[in-house]
């Protein structure tokens, strides 16, 4: 008989892994483009900083949703 006791743990690992890939890439791209914008126009750093933080927070929220889903898997 096949042992299926590890299926919830594997499902949790897959959920958090897949749920972290998108936000990780998104935050990296946000930071990269923000630094590029500041490098091109240093005077605009105060205008770039707040939207960058808000976008990072929204991307991080997606990872938190994935974490919640991973915890809810039984």
3-class DSSP string for 3-59: CCCCHHHHHHHHHHHHHHHHHHHHHHHHHHHHHHHHHHCHHHHHHHHHHHHHHHHHH
Q: How many domains does the chain have?
A: 1
Structural domain of 36: 7-72
Q: What is the structure's pLDDT at 2?
A: 67
CATH number at 59 reads 1.20.20.10
State pLDDT tens for residues 8-48.
Answer: 899 999 999 999 999 999 999 999 999 999 999 999 999 99
Q: Which two tokens stand for residue 55?
A: 């976008």
Q: What is the structure's pLDDT at 37?
A: 95
pTM confidence score: 0.78
Residue 31 lies in a domain: yes
Residue 43 lies in a domain: yes
Residue 1 lies in a domain: no
Distance CA 21, CA 15 (A): 10
Residue 39 lies in a domain: yes
Residue 2 lies in a domain: no
pLDDT of 3 > 90? The answer is no
């Amino acid at each position: 008989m096949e042992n299926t006791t590890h299926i919830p743990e594997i499902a949790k690992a897959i959920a958090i892994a897949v749920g972290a890939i998108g936000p990780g890439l998104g935050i990296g791209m946000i930071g990269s483009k923000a630094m590029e914008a500041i490098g091109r126009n240093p005077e605009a750093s105060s205008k770039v900083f707040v939207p960058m933080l808000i976008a990072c927070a929204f991307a991080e929220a997606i990872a938190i949703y994935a974490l919640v889903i991973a915890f809810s898997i039984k």
